[in-house]
Amino acid sequence: MADYQKLIDKEYWDFIHKTNSCYPPDTATRSIEQQRTIYNEMCKAFHAGRPDGLSVENMKIENVPIRIYGKPSEIVVVYFHGGGFVVGDLDSHDDVCAELAHNCELQVISVDYRLSPEHEHPAAYQDALSIVNWALEKNQVILVGDSAGGNLAAAVSGTLRDKIKAQVLIYPGLGGDHNKGSYMTHANAPMLTRDEILFYMSIRKDHFDDPTAKPLLGPFEKLPLTLALAAECDPLHDDCYEYVNKINQFGGRAIALTDKGLTHGHLRARHISKRAGNSFAKICASISAFSKDIWQFN
């Protein structure tokens, strides 16, 4: 098993401890609504604010709430937040989206898709697809998502394929084998365990033969330029490499990279940890490069 005391530096451990302090000991036994409140309060504790002068607008498209950051641009980023399809909303990832819009100089559309258990699969996927199709009416689209949001981005890419300009998947769960590889090596990783992944899956009621729930089932032809960012200390790590390998086997252009010494959820640590900050800078640089049709990886 992994030795996290060696893999993770003190700076990042401080982030882990601060995150854990936001969760009461009985969080897992509380109602879903209470867990959402706890999660949002945790996210609020790390909220870094928005860049000065950034325009922000809330609206609904086909009854799906969205938040639009920045001025109109020919290419837009559609962002799907993480949270296991159970927690998270426009506010939980507000500062992340605001900084992406500012740093990449692109308009960012954050999507408040429906959550489980009230709305089982494919509700979240349908909301994601609806907003992307709406954005495609006027813009080219780059898809970005973290964790569950990375799953949604890949699922939408699998449906729309060559209509999508590029995708950046941040520690996504893509439907890999939960009984081998990183799912076992990092079964008890800080910030996300294998048991927690299985719990979230049971709430969503994933369909085992459905590629819109598990993008690793394909299709892989004509998928867009892809960066899949894996955290070293994360049960989901290997999903990135399996997904990217399949894209490349079908003639696409994709790369998986591992952020050393980081765990699931490290986006919130970007202003606390140098390693997490470097990862976020890589995300922003990659989105900017993709918007200019530049493949910046060897």
Q: Is the peptide bond before 219 cis (omega within 30 degrees of 0)?
A: yes
22 domain residue, yes or no: yes
Binning the chain into helix, strand and coil, the percentages to the nearest 5 are 45, 20, 40
Q: Do the beta carbons of residue 161 and residue 221 sit within 8 Å?
A: yes
298 domain residue, yes or no: no
- What are 62's two structure tokens? 């086909």
Is 0.95 surpassed by the pTM of this model? yes
4 domain residue, yes or no: no
Q: 72-124: per-residue pLDDT in tens?
A: 999 999 999 999 999 999 999 999 999 999 999 999 999 999 999 999 999 99
90 domain residue, yes or no: yes
Q: Which domain holds residue 45?
A: 17-291
Mean pLDDT by 10 residues, the chain (298 residues): 95 98 92 96 97 98 98 98 97 98 98 97 97 98 98 98 98 96 98 94 81 96 98 98 98 98 98 98 98 93
Q: Which residues pair with 143 in a beta bridge?
A: 78, 167
What's the pLDDT at 207? Answer: 64
3 state DSSP class of 92? coil
DSSP state of 212: T
11 domain residue, yes or no: no
* Alpha-carbon span 265 to 16, nearest angstrom: 10
Total domain count for the chain?
A: 1
Q: What is the C-alpha end-to-end distance of the chain, expressed in Å? A: 32
Catalytic amino acids? 147, 234, 264
5 domain residue, yes or no: no
Output the domain CATH number for residue 141.
Answer: 3.40.50.1820
285 domain residue, yes or no: yes
9 domain residue, yes or no: no
Angle between helices 94-104 and 274-291 (to 10 degrees): 50
* Side-by-side strand order, sheet with 254-263: 56-61, 64-69, 107-111, 75-80, 140-146, 166-170, 225-233, 254-263
